[in-house]
Every structure is written in C-alpha cells, then in structure tokens.
Amino acid sequence: MRAASVQFESAAGDKCANLARIRAFAGQAAAERADLVVFPECSITGYWFLRRLSGPEITAIAEPVPDGQSTQELIALARRLGIAIGAGLIERAGEGALYNTYVVAMPDGRTVRHRKIHAFEHDLVRSGSEYTVFELPNGWRAGILICYDCNLVENVRATALLGAEVLLAPHQTGGCRSKNPHLMGVIDRALWDNRAADPDAIERELRGDKGRGWLMRWLPSRAHDNGLFLIFSNGVGVDDDEIRTGNAMILDPYGTILGETGKAADDMVIADLDRSLVAGSTGRKWIKARRPELYAGLAVRTGNERTARELKFEE
C-alpha cells in the first residue's frame, strides 16, 4: 500500500478553506498513486480555538457523520480520486452529543468513524468508548486513534489485538504548554511569522525537543511494540495560542521512519508499506508471547484515574 501523511495549518472555524487544502493534497496524493491519505485531527474545523467557544458556537460548527456536508464532500472526493481519505472534525450526534471525530471516506462510498476516546477540547465534547478497526478497499486492516488516544499504550495494543496492520494517528500536538522539564514547551510565535526570512530558526524548534524530539520518545515504540505501520499526521503552524510542530511521518512495524518532513509549512510525505513486514515483526512475536491470565490487574481501577481533560488542564 502507498500511504500519504499530510501536515497543514488549519484555519480556525473556516471549513471551506480547510476542505480546499484537503482537496488539493488529496489530489496530489492520488496523482502520486497513493491508496490512502491521512490528514490531522480536527483538520476540517480547526482545533485549539474550540476550547474558547460557547456551547452554541461549538454546536454550530459541528456536523452529523456521515450525513453532514463535510463528510459528504470527503466521500465524493474519495470516489472521484479513487483514494481513501481520512480527516477530522467535531461531530454532532444524537440528542446533540458532540465528539472529536475522525472520518475515513473510501472510494466505494463507505465511511468509518472514530470518536476520540480521551477527549478534552471542550466541556461539551464527550469521549468515545469504542476502538475502531476496519478494512480498507485493498484489504489492509486499519485502526484509528486520535492524538491523546495514542499516548496510552493500552489503546494501541488493543487496536493491534483487534487486527490492525496500520494505525492512522491524526494529531494536533507539539509546542504545547507542559510541566515536562526536558521536552515540549511553547514556541515563539515570532519565529513562525518570520519563517520565510529565517526558515532555519523555526525548523530547529520543530525538529527539536518541542516537536520531533518529543515524538521520538514514544512514537516509534507504539509501532515497534505492536508490529504495525503507523501514519502520523499533525497540524503545523499557528493553532490559537500555540505553534504546532508538524513532523508528519510514516513508520514501519519496526519503528523505522519510512518518510518524514521537518518543514515549517504545509507538506506531505508518501511511503510504500510492505505488508509482509507485519507478520514477522518483533512486536507481533511479542504479542504471541503474551500471558493474558496475568493481566487482570490492568482492567482494575486504582482510584488514581483522571480524565484527559483534568490532566491536560493541570499542565
């Protein structure tokens, strides 16, 4: 399978502008014979500004899935280009429930939806409660985990156990406020605004500890330990009062990076995924060595559990 991962700077609340960027990159991916193109979390609606919206404002920007206009446009685009397309938005479900949702539209008209399991973006955005594993048109088994979902090792392992060979990992991350004394931290907006005159200064930040350096602490292990390909798509540039760090990349089941970008700009990376690597990978061997009878304690509450929203806003 040939897969593409896109990083781009979403316009807050401007779905028309964001869908235009999605159309352009999807067309480019299709022209380069990709089977699948992955866009970031909330790439249709915009992301970090959502936390500042009132209840009526965030409800107004949300759409039903799959019947909403944005999902229908993704379906039409996937059919026209003959490529599977994944993108994120705020979903308005039954009785007005809101979710941070990721949609994959396929050329045959099917759609798959994943609701973020660890949502924290707004008080009205609920967390999903299901893992999502499905079959792509070419027969590959794919899973979806959105941003914070990927941070918890249990979620990636559960997705692999459900048969995923490739994980779609849409994010809006990097350049975040954090108590971590060694990694993360905000990036000076002036560096981004001056990127045309001095691209090296901002790209050092994107590739440094606030961006790629942090990702390298954990992202390859998610792929390696579970024996799956991982397609990391991320926002880049201004995201409300933070600067997202991009670093779109594709990793193989050994945690090796097949393609990546460190540009301070909208960009796309493409890689060919060799399915034969999955079965013999180290992670798949380790999965076979599991002793589930020892793991009952993993499903027992300790009393220390907190929601992602509580943890995020303690930082």
Predicted pLDDT at 242: 97
Residue boundaries of the structural domains of the chain: 2-312
- 155 by Cβ neighbours in 10 Å (0-12 / 13-18 / 19+) ranks as buried
Predicted pLDDT at 182: 73
DSSP letter at 195 equals T
Interatomic CA distance for residues 150 and 180, integer angstroms:
18
Q: Model confidence over 256-314: pLDDT tens digits? A: 999 999 999 999 999 999 999 999 999 999 999 999 999 999 999 999 999 998 887 66
Residue 177 confidence class, pLDDT cut points 50, 70, 90: confident
Predicted pLDDT at 313: 67
Arithmetic mean of pLDDT, 81-92: 98
Return the CATH number of 2-312, one of 3.60.15.10, 1.10.3720.10, 3.60.70.12, 3.60.110.10.
3.60.110.10
Interatomic CA distance for residues 127 and 311, integer angstroms:
14
Q: Model confidence over 199-243: pLDDT tens digits? A: 999 999 999 999 999 999 999 999 999 999 999 999 999 999 999
Predicted pLDDT at 63: 98
pLDDT of 93 strictly over 80: yes
Looking at every residue in the chain, the average pLDDT score rounds to 96
Interatomic CA distance for residues 218 and 53, integer angstroms:
32
Q: Model confidence over 250-269: pLDDT tens digits? A: 999 999 999 999 999 999 99
pLDDT of 57 strictly over 70: yes
Residue 179 confidence class, pLDDT cut points 50, 70, 90: confident
The mean-pLDDT minimum among 13-17, 117-121, 132-136, 304-308 falls in: 304-308
Interatomic CA distance for residues 203 and 211, integer angstroms:
10
CB 308 within 8 A of CB 116: no
What are the Cα distances from residue 236, in Å, to 20, 41, 64, 272? 17, 11, 26, 24
Arithmetic mean of pLDDT, 80-84: 98
Interatomic CA distance for residues 104 and 144, integer angstroms:
9
Arithmetic mean of pLDDT, 30-46: 98
pLDDT of 315 strictly over 80: no
Interatomic CA distance for residues 266 and 175, integer angstroms:
17
DSSP letter at 266 equals -
Question: What are the residue ranges of helices labelled H in 34-115?
Answer: 55-61, 69-81
Cβ neighbour number for residue 49 with a 10 Å cutoff: 20
With tokens 């001056």, the residue in question is: 194
